[in-house]
Amino acid sequence: AGVLEIIEKIQIDHHLDNKLFVSIAAGVSKSQLRDKLGEKVKLARVMPNIGCVHGAGVCAVFTNDESSFELTK
């Protein structure tokens, strides 16, 4: 199953409204995630670089609003 199908299963089994959903899925856009998760789920995207494979990388964090960003700290 792909990421979007897994999100559908998670949504069925768990109430995600007002929760922070963190994605590291490559190739899945923010709008695709937002369409599956809905507007009430807080969303953060984490983009690691290749150095993370060797324990020497950095990650960029993107959120769609300030309250989501505060939860990632």
Calculate ∠ Cα 29-34-40, nearest 5°: 155
Q: What are the structure tokens assigned to 9, written together?
A: 């299963």
Q: What are the structure tokens assigned to 41, written together?
A: 């789920």
Instruction: Calculate mean pLDDT across residues 42-51.
Output: 88
Instruction: Calculate mean pLDDT across residues 60-71.
Output: 74
Cα–Cα distance list, 44 to 15, 54 (Å): 17, 24
pLDDT band for 67, please (50, 70, 90 cuts): low
What pTM did the predictor assign? 0.75
In this structure, the number of other CB atoms found within 10 A of the CB of residue 9 comes to 10
